[in-house]
Chain A
Amino acid sequence: MNKKHTLLYLLIIFWFSLNAQNNETEITNNNNLQVGVLFQKTQKLYWENGFEIDYTNKVLFNKRIHFGFDFVTSRLGSAISSNAIKQESYRFNTSYHFRNTKDFKIVPSLNIGYFYADYEEEIFDVLVNTSLIFSGEIGVSYSLKNKLNVPISLNLSTGMNLISGNGIKSAGTLYPFYYQISMLYSILK
């Protein structure tokens, strides 16, 4: 897969989110569902990109608590046309949005999930290539709704994997520190 295909893939995800917004009837403004693209750089390792889904509801402390899911893979990052290891992270997360009525929010979150690395060759089947993910993040979120009248938020965060791989008990390419940037579009608001 080359870089053009990746860009196309990410644009398709974004387009679906826009399309969904057009097709969905607004059910209630109690709910807020956002989807979008997520870019992740691990400290001293790979770019891993993918998508993110974020949901909140008024009953969740007036939308202060959010639940979400994200998926990132090096197949859409460093492993494109290179020998980087193909690896995926699947994470469920819970976050708390401070200043949730403002454009600029501070967002700590906790993630739990699963990590998988594909070593491809049979000779490496003896190595552990999976891991539980348990990580914490702190970030900021900026809503463009009031400024530009578009239901988009931009998010920056940094995180730490509390379980990082040592190659013996868990996969060796799960590194401790990472940085993320994401752009989310509200399809239910």
Chain B
Amino acid sequence: MKLLNILIAVIIVTFSSCTKNPDINNTMLDGDVVFDPSTYNPENFLISLSIKNPTAEQKNMPVFIASHGYSATTFEWDQFKEYTNKKKDILVSQVLLKGHGTTYNDFKKSTWKDWKTVITKEYNALKNQGYKNINFIGSSTSCTLALQMIKSGEMNGIKNYFFVDPIIIPSDKLITIVGAIGPMLGYIETNLEDGEQGKWYQFRPQETVNELMKLMEVVRKDLQDGFKLPKNSKLKVYKSTNDPTADAVSAVLIYKGLKMYNGGNVNVDMIDSGTHVMTRLNGLDKVTDNQVKNQQYIFNDVCNIAKALL
């Protein structure tokens, strides 16, 4: 009888955890009030919409598809856009991954296959508009999505892929059992700094953490088998050596598993940093000189590489 009582208690606790919903308020991105600004004015973020009929000069300019990480928004590439705006000879198209930047429930329903659809949509739109120098710059999970798309041949005309802190192996290894414990947790809450409020989802549904794990698993196995970049594409990885979110060994897996079309190695730059996504410093409570130095180095380097092809 005692055993039966314990069993019933365990079942009640388990199922009550499954249905647990996070306590969302109106200041959070997770709620129904705050949305990513690109959902209201996509023409301010997507080059395919802001320049409907590009000139010959614009078609030859480097255009970057800038794609953010898991649970983030277009905010992650705002500083890169500001940097390139000053230069006037580079275009940046900030995509918002599907399921992101709207509501907790939208996010919960989305899969990693949904997330990537906006990247290919913007790439195809730019290609159809005649842009000749399309580049991809991604952070964290967007790099993982891009690797999957390289493998499946979805973006064969990209000139340069730039990966900032790609994630193949998470730093927190307990994510490897999210499939087992996730249903009991319901969601995972993250601590956001004041400047990050409204820019990231604060609550991460276990379903999406599981999707992230599935994506990393697919790409890790693809890299284990090995694959190549498309002809005329190059890739450079900028990896923080002490990344607290995306284990730095992710760069090792990319270097070993992905080769240039001619069989050569891809370029990997291991950078002395403890920041995840070194290119996004907006919203952090405290920014060091080293963080600024790393960010400006990457901005400058990617622009030089993209322009060098002209």
On whether the beta carbons of B241 and A126 are closer than 8 Å, the reply is yes
Residue on A with the closest CB to B271?
A126
Q: Does A172 count as interface, using CB distance less than 8 angstroms?
A: yes
Chain B, 218-261, CB within 8 A of any chain A CB: 223-226, 241-244, 247-253, 255-257
A168 contacts B251, CB within 8 Å? no
Contact residue among B226, B268, B272 (Cβ-Cβ distance under 8 Å from A83): B226
Q: Residue of B at shortest CB range from A82?
A: B224
| Chain B residues in 8 Å Cβ range of A83 | 223-226, 253, 256-257
How far is A92 from B261 in the complex, measured between Cα atoms in Å?
Answer: 45
CB–CB A85/B171 < 8 A: no
Instruction: Report chain A residues within 8 Å CB of B242.
Output: 167-168
Bound Cα distance from A83 to B168, whole angstroms: 14
Residue-wise, chain B 56-79 has the 8 Å CB interface mask toward A (1 for contact) of 000000000000000000000000
How many residues on A have C-beta within 8 angstroms of the other chain's C-beta atoms?
27
- CB of A175 within 8 Å of the partner chain: yes
- CB of B224 within 8 A of CB of A124, answer no
Residues of B in contact, count (CB < 8 Å): 31
Chain B residues lying within 8 Å of A166, measured Cβ to Cβ, are 171-173, 244, 247
Q: Which of A43, A78, A167 contacts B171 (CB 8 A)?
A: A167
A78 with B169, Cβ < 8 A, contacts A85-B249, A124-B252 known: no
With a cutoff of 8 Å between Cβ atoms, the chain B residues found around residue A171 in the complex are: 249
B174 within 8 A of A: yes
CB within 8 Å for A84 and B173 given contacts A44-B213, A167-B248, A167-B249: no
Residues of B within 8 Å of A119, CB to CB, are 249, 252
- Pair A85/B268 contact, Cβ less than 8 Å: no
* Among A44, A123, A176, contact of B268 (Cβ-Cβ < 8 Å): A123
Give the Cβ gap from B254 to chain A, nearest Cβ, in Å: 10
Residues of B near A126 (CB, < 8 A) are 241, 270, 272
Complex alpha-carbon distance, A173 and B177, angstroms: 15
Could you tell me the distance between the alpha carbons of A124 and B256 in the complex, rounded to whole angstroms?
11
Query: Which of A167, A168, A173, A177: most chain B Cβ within 10 A?
Result: A167
A window 58-76: CB within 8 A of B: none
Instruction: Answer whether residue B84 sits at the interface, using C-beta atoms and an 8 A cutoff.
Output: no
What are 17 sample pairs from A and B whose C-beta atoms fall under 8 A apart? A43-B177, A82-B226, A83-B253, A84-B224, A85-B249, A120-B256, A121-B255, A126-B241, A127-B248, A164-B173, A166-B173, A166-B244, A168-B243, A168-B248, A172-B171, A172-B247, A176-B174
Closest 8 CB pairs of A and B: A172-B249, A167-B247, A172-B247, A44-B176, A83-B256, A83-B257, A164-B173, A166-B171
